[in-house]
A and B are shown apart, each in its own frame.
Chain A
Amino acid sequence: MLKKLFGLALAAGGAIALGAIALHRGEPINALWLLAAGLCIYTLGYRFYAAWIAASVLMVDRTRATPAERLDNGRDFHPTPRWVVFGHHFAAIAGPGPLVGPTLAAQFGYLPGTLWILIGSVMGGCVQDMVVLFASTRRDGRTLGKMARDELGPIGGTAALVGTLAIMVILIAVLSLVVVNAMKHSPWATSTVFATIPIAVIVGIYMRHLRPGQVIEGSLLGVALLIAAVVGGGWIDHQPSLRGYFDYDGTTLAWFVMGYGFIAAILPVWLLLAPRDYLSTYLKLGVVALLAVAIVVIHPELRMPALTRFADGSGPVFAGKLFPFVFITIACGAISGFHALISSGTTPKLLRSEHDIRLVGYGSMALESLVAIMAMIAATLLEPGVYFAINSPLAALGGSPESVVTTLSQWGFPVTLETMQSLAKQVGESTLFARTGGAPSLAVGMASILSSTFGSTMIAIWYHFAIMFEAIFILTTLDAGTRVGRFMLQDTLGHLWQPLGRTSWYPSVVLTSGLIVAAWGYFLYIGVTDPNGGINILWPLFGISNQMLAAIALAVMTAILLKGRKPWHALVTAVPLLWLAVVTSCAAWLKIMSDNPKIGFIAGARDLSAKLAAGTLPPEKAAVASKLIFNQQLDAVLAGVFLGILWLVIVDVAVILVRRLRNEPIQVSPEASYVRSVLPEATHA
Chain B
Amino acid sequence: MLNHAHLWRRVMDFLQGATGEGAYERYCAHLQTAHPDHPIPSRADFFRQDQHERWDGVRRCC
Query: Could you tell me which A residues sit within 8 Å of B by CB distance?
Result: 72-76, 78, 80-81, 83-84, 87-88, 91-97, 164, 171, 175, 207-209, 212-216, 219, 269-270, 273-274, 277-278, 332, 336, 338-339, 341-342, 345-346, 476-477, 480-481, 483-484, 487, 503, 542, 546
B55 touches A78 (CB 8 A): no
Q: Which 6 A-B pairs have the closest CB atoms?
A: A74-B30, A84-B17, A97-B62, A87-B18, A212-B44, A74-B27
* Chain B binding surface, main DSSP class: helix
Is B56 in the interface zone, CB < 8 Å from A? Answer: yes
**Interfacial chain A residues near B47, Cβ < 8 Å:** 207-208, 212-213
Number of interface residues of B (CB under 8 A): 35
C-alpha spacing A273/B17, complex, angstroms: 20
B53 touches A477 (CB 8 A): no
Task: Write the nearest CB–CB distance from B17 to chain A, whole angstroms.
Answer: 4
B58 touches A336 (CB 8 A): no
**Which one of A74, A212, A503 has the highest number of Cβ atoms from chain B below 10 Å of its Cβ?**
A74
Question: What are 11 A-B contacts with C-beta separation under 8 Å?
Answer: A74-B34, A78-B30, A95-B60, A212-B44, A212-B47, A213-B43, A214-B21, A216-B15, A216-B19, A274-B55, A278-B19
B57 touches A208 (CB 8 A): no
Is B5 in the interface zone, CB < 8 Å from A? Answer: no
Q: A216-B16, A219-B19 are in contact. Are A336 and B62 (CB under 8 A)?
A: yes
B55 touches A480 (CB 8 A): yes
**Interfacial chain B residues near A95, Cβ < 8 Å:** 60-62
B23 touches A213 (CB 8 A): yes
**Interfacial chain B residues near A80, Cβ < 8 Å:** 17
Task: Write the nearest CB–CB distance from B32 to chain A, whole angstroms.
Answer: 10
**Which one of B19, B20, B24 has the highest number of Cβ atoms from chain A below 10 Å of its Cβ?**
B19
**CB under 8 Å from chain A, chain B span 20-44:** 20-21, 23-24, 26-27, 29-31, 34, 43-44
Residue of A nearest to B42 (CB): A212
Is B52 in the interface zone, CB < 8 Å from A? Answer: yes
B46 touches A175 (CB 8 A): no
C-alpha spacing A253/B15, complex, angstroms: 37
Q: A74-B26, A215-B20 are in contact. Are A93 and B61 (CB under 8 A)?
A: yes
Contact of A213 among B31, B46, B56, B61 (CB under 8 A): B46
C-alpha spacing A542/B55, complex, angstroms: 23
C-alpha spacing A212/B43, complex, angstroms: 7
Residue of A nearest to B54 (CB): A274
Contact of B30 among A73, A164, A207, A332 (CB under 8 A): A73
Is B3 in the interface zone, CB < 8 Å from A? Answer: no
**Interfacial chain A residues near B31, Cβ < 8 Å:** 74
A97-B62, A332-B62 known, 13 other contacts, Cβ within 8 Å: A74-B26, A74-B27, A74-B31, A81-B13, A91-B18, A208-B48, A213-B21, A214-B21, A277-B59, A342-B58, A345-B58, A480-B58, A480-B60
Contact of A84 among B18, B30, B60 (CB under 8 A): B18
Q: A214-B21, A215-B19, A269-B52 are in contact. Are A87 and B62 (CB under 8 A)?
A: no
B14 touches A274 (CB 8 A): no
Q: How many A-B residue pairs have CB under 8 A?
A: 116
Contact of B53 among A76, A487, A546 (CB under 8 A): A76
B51 touches A274 (CB 8 A): yes
**Interfacial chain B residues near A484, Cβ < 8 Å:** 57-58
Task: Write the nearest CB–CB distance from B19 to chain A, whole angstroms.
Answer: 4
Q: A213-B47, A216-B16 are in contact. Are A97 and B61 (CB under 8 A)?
A: yes
C-alpha spacing A13/B61, complex, angstroms: 32
**Interfacial chain A residues near B18, Cβ < 8 Å:** 84, 87-88, 91
Residue of A nearest to B56 (CB): A487
**Which one of B52, B54, B59, B62 has the highest number of Cβ atoms from chain A below 10 Å of its Cβ?**
B62
Residue of B nearest to A96 (CB): B62
Residue of B nearest to A174 (CB): B62
C-alpha spacing A480/B59, complex, angstroms: 7
Contact of A175 among B17, B48, B62 (CB under 8 A): B62
B53 touches A75 (CB 8 A): yes
B62 touches A483 (CB 8 A): no
B26 touches A78 (CB 8 A): yes
A75 touches B27 (CB 8 A): yes
Task: Write the nearest CB–CB distance from B37 to chain A, whole angstroms.
Answer: 15
Residue of B nearest to A473 (CB): B60
Contact of A270 among B27, B30, B51, B61 (CB under 8 A): B51
**Interfacial chain B residues near A269, Cβ < 8 Å:** 51-52, 54-55
**Which one of A75, A80, A339 has the highest number of Cβ atoms from chain B below 10 Å of its Cβ?**
A75
C-alpha spacing A164/B50, complex, angstroms: 25
C-alpha spacing A332/B58, complex, angstroms: 16
A84 touches B14 (CB 8 A): yes
**Interfacial chain A residues near B62, Cβ < 8 Å:** 95-97, 171, 175, 332, 336, 338, 477, 542, 546
**Interfacial chain B residues near A476, Cβ < 8 Å:** 60
Task: Write the nearest CB–CB distance from A652 to chain B, whole angstroms.
Answer: 23
A273 touches B55 (CB 8 A): yes
Q: A75-B50, A95-B61, A546-B62 are in contact. Are A208 and B56 (CB under 8 A)?
A: no
Q: A72-B30, A78-B26 are in contact. Are A92 and B59 (CB under 8 A)?
A: yes
A477 touches B60 (CB 8 A): yes
C-alpha spacing A487/B56, complex, angstroms: 8
C-alpha spacing A219/B30, complex, angstroms: 27
B58 touches A341 (CB 8 A): yes
Contact of B17 among A74, A81, A93, A345 (CB under 8 A): A81
**Interfacial chain A residues near B54, Cβ < 8 Å:** 269, 274
Task: Write the nearest CB–CB distance from A221 to chain B, whole angstroms.
Answer: 13
Task: Write the nearest CB–CB distance from B14 to chain A, whole angstroms.
Answer: 6
